[in-house]
Amino acid sequence: MNNIVSQKWLLERLDEPDVVIVDCRFLMGKPDAGRELYEASHIPGAVYLDLEKDLSAPLHEQGHGGRHPLPDIFDLTVALSRVGIGNESRVVAYDDQGGAMASRLWWLLKYLGHEQVYVLDEGFTAWAGAGFPVSSEQKELVPARFLANVQHTMLAEMDEVKERLGDAGITLIDSREAPRYRGEVEPLDKVAGHIPGAINRFWKDGLTDSGSWKDAAAQADRFADLDRDREIIVYCGSGVTATPNVIALQEAGFTKVRLYAGSWSDWISYSENPVAKGDEESPSKA
């Protein structure tokens, strides 16, 4: 599957009217920084969507839904329509965070039934560094009509994850860095560890040392020990950095991939949920 597009691919299509470029830059802990970066300089014609204001719902006071709850479907379709994304649009999302924020938009659009959405390889700094055009002019927004066709099978809820712990038909993937997965450190959430039975595949291992996305063969190597016939549920801390792993798995040819959107921060909001620490063995293909 082709979910990643090159800088040159986008450069050749900057002026095509059905292409909507979305700047998704966002810095955790600095909620206004992404928009400020966008206003200072962006790919010409790009619009801005904010991780917390547009691509997430407000936090639940009990912590349920995680640190970045999925947005309300109606609110999301309004946000997409406002910036000119319609059902026929070809959407290209970019960020400067290794593709994590752009992948969140990619996943949300796929979840709403929109197929023509892509992540720009490498991100904005690489684009500007390559000498491609940038601008501080903000595009005049022309609203479009976006109708959602929600793909419920792409999403896994907490109750199902809990019910299927230990199920041999499920592979659970934790996308966080190994020390967080093992429960050795936890800089963001109140409890350290991982969901019992989950294996670790750090999402940034889907990128090369230069910051570009690995090709399909290299992604397949990352997941070579996994059974393609099993369902895969992917999570991270809050449901954002798991989405690059969803893309990577699709690029590798896996078809039964779902996102636990609430992720670890949702899981631990239920005090009765079990927690594991340390490493776990990859599930056997047998």
- The residues that are catalytic are 236
37 half-sphere exposure, CB direction, 13 A CA radius: 20
Q: Please identify which residue in the block is written with the tokens 């639940």.
A: 60
- What's the rounded Cα separation, in Å, for the pair 32 and 21? 20
- What's the rounded Cα separation, in Å, for the pair 40 and 53? 19
